[in-house]
Amino acid sequence: MTTTTTAEAPEDELGPPTAAANLCVTARGFSTEEEARGIGTAVRECVILLSRHFDLSRLDGVTVAYDYAQALESLDRGYQTSNLLTPSDDHAVGVAMTPLVIRNGTIKSHMVFNAHIVAPIATLDPELIQLPLHVIAHECSHVEITKKFDEAFPNDLLQPRNDDYRDALRWQVILACWDEYAATRMSANFGEDPTDGYEDIFLKHLAAVQSTAQAYIRAYRRHGNVSQVYAEVYGVLGNLLKFASYALGNSDGHHVDPEARTALTNSLVDNWFEPYFRRLHDACRAIAHRYGRWPDKTSFEVIGDIADEVVALCGIKHRYLPDGRLYLDIP
């Protein structure tokens, strides 16, 4: 069953909400209309309240779905793309996503939640609501972060980068790292403390990333597709940087030095990734320092430089030929 609910956002002593007054929440896959309306209303009220903390003026709408994967796949994104939206399942199981959409020529964000995770927000139980509250706050952060970047660099997001394959992969990593660093930093103090989970996901990926990259390169010896192996290796190492960004942003949001986290520190001692972890932290902090006031993309490019270096370290080096073509060296 699918139902759509709307409501006027109330005013109170916290000040006016930034979400649209007619914010729409669509509930999918519920067994009854009553359940759909109850949970949809609770999620809507939570988002409206959080819109007093985050700028949600570019929020297109919210979908809460028990058929989460289908909801992502069927979302009207307002533009043509071959990139399907699918829940993540690599070390971290996806429970929410905030894809970009285009509405009347403007880039907006649409939040999609797995109902299994956010449904307890309707219980009003102080313990049960902590996880859904944090998940919703995290996605609200993404809405604001996207708006700030689009305002600083108009006509950049969702634009094809087909002229340079490396640049396209590089910017996927740059945006993923910055977005997750900023979102975890901004939402750190809402609801459940996710610190242990973020660090565990990062460390699991760190333990497996080199062997995974090497497996992709060995497979390349059979299939011979250079673009494929480059995307695979860049992707898995980009994910490592992204998961590190989750942990770093969350630490900064809680004002905790990552070195004070025993498991994290012990795992990074004498590890090949330790200097890149520190450089990534510095890079993300530098971007955050000028949040929304970036004169250019120089500070963002630092993350891309780190990505290029770890990809080269794990087996694929790049250079440009005199005619401008990209050449990939895979020893």
| Domain locations in the chain as residue ranges | 3-152, 165-329
Residue listed under structure tokens 């929410």: 96
Looking at residue 92, its pLDDT comes to 53
pLDDT at 8: 40
Helix-strand-coil split of the chain, %, nearest 5: 55, 15, 35
Q: Of the candidates 128, 107, 144, 111, which has an alpha carbon nearest to the alpha carbon of residue 17?
A: 144
How do 59-65 and 24-28 pair as beta strands?
parallel
For every residue of 237-293, DSSP letters joined together read HHHHHHHHHHHHHHHHHTT--GGG-HHHHHHHTT-TTHHHHHHHHHHHHHHHHTTT-
**Element of type H or E holding 69:** helix 68-74
Element containing residue 319 per DSSP (H, E)? strand 317-320
The Cα–Cα gap between 5 and 132 comes to 19
| Residues shown for the chain | 331
Count of other CB atoms within 10 angstroms of residue 127? 9
The answer to whether 115 and 65 are in contact (CB under 8 A) is yes
Q: What is the pLDDT of residue 164?
A: 86
Phi-psi region of 324 (alpha: psi -120 to 50; beta: other; left: phi over 0): left
Q: What is the DSSP string of 100-134?
A: EEEETTEEEEEEEEEHHHHGGGGT--TTTTHHHHH
The dihedrals phi and psi of 16, each to the nearest 5 degrees, come to -70, 145
Residue 234 CA to residue 169 CA, distance in Å, equals 7
196 strand-pairing partners: none
In sequence order, what DSSP letters do the residues of 14-42 get, joined into one string?
A: T---SS-TT-EEEEES-SSHHHHHHHHHH
What is the amino acid identity at position 225?
N
Measured CA distances, 206 to 202, 240, 252, 295 (Å): 6, 6, 20, 33
* 3-state SS class at 153: coil
> 59: which residues sit within 8 A by CB, 6+ positions away?
19, 20, 23, 47, 51, 108, 109, 110, 111, 140, 143
Q: What is the mean pLDDT of each run of 10 residues along the chain (331 residues)?
A: 45 75 95 96 97 98 96 95 82 81 97 97 95 98 98 93 86 98 98 96 96 97 96 97 98 95 94 98 98 98 98 95 93 78
Element holding 5 (H helix, E strand): strand 3-6
CB atoms within 10 A of CB 187: 26
Which residue has 């609910």 as its token pair?
A: 5
Rounded Cα distance, 327 and 212, in Å: 23
